[in-house]
Amino acid sequence: MSVKIRLARRGRKKQAIYDVVVADARAPRDGRFIEKIGTYNPNTNPASININNERALNWLLNGAQPTDTVKAMLSYRGIMLKKHLQIGVLKGAITQEQADAKFSAWLSEKDSKIADKSDKLAAAKAEVRAKALAAETAKNQARLDAKQAKEDEQKALLAAAEAANNPAPVAEETESEAAPEASAEGEAPKA
């Protein structure tokens, strides 16, 4: 019997979540399995990978073959490196302490890379949100300015209409002063 470590799909349409299972190679994809050792959610950024490292390592050392996708996930989590180091310990190439030191150094470096990626994604998201807020603020200010200009224009029109209806007392010219000017203008073209 060939044993595989593979993914079993669950979740709804276009929102797949996978279980990492140990199953007989002849069993259907979503069918019978021997043991569930973790989950994988590709819908998050970065993808969420939760695997029981000890059980996965135990199955790998006992001969279970991971599929390509699961092998990439196990490498991402460091389980394939741990298997490699454990085989070196079993063959006597290195001691268990050296293997543990190498694995812990790799694990701390990997955690810092994951944290950096998460920080960059959060910063990019915050920057996009800040730009959207600035654009919305500018649009609202332009809208308020247009509204204020329209109100000022309406006030000016109302003031002009009031001035036309209620003329202010202005020093009026008498008819005697207006008449000589009219006659002088009428005489100019004759000459």
The three-state (H, E, C) secondary structure of 111-164, written as one string: HHHHHHHHHHHHHHHHHHHHHHHHHHHHHHHHHHHHHHHHHHHHHHHHHHHHHH
Question: Which residue range(s) make up the domain with 22?
Answer: 3-94
Pairing of strands 3-12, 65-66: parallel
Average pLDDT over residues 31-38: 91
- Span of 28-32, 71-75, 108-112, 147-151 with lowest mean pLDDT: 28-32
Q: What is the pLDDT of residue 158?
A: 85
Question: Is residue 85 in some structural domain?
Answer: yes
In tens, the pLDDT along 142-173 reads 999 999 999 888 888 888 888 888 765 555 55
- Span of 4-13, 74-83, 102-111, 172-181 with lowest mean pLDDT: 172-181
The total domain count for the chain is 1
Length reported for the chain: 191
Per-residue tokens: 131: 């730009």
Q: Is residue 88 over pLDDT 80?
A: yes
Residue 112's identity, in one-letter code, is S
* Burial degree of 190 (CB within 10 A; 0-12, 13-18, 19+): exposed
CATH assignment of the domain containing 43: 3.30.1320.10
Question: Is residue 184 in some structural domain?
Answer: no
Confidence band, pLDDT 50/70/90 cuts, at residue 93: confident
pTM to 2 decimal places: 0.62
Question: Is residue 32 in some structural domain?
Answer: yes
Confidence band, pLDDT 50/70/90 cuts, at residue 94: confident
Give just the sign of the alpha carbon dihedral 90, 91, 97, 102. Answer: negative
Question: Is residue 19 in some structural domain?
Answer: yes
Question: Is residue 129 in some structural domain?
Answer: no
Per-residue tokens: 163: 């001035």
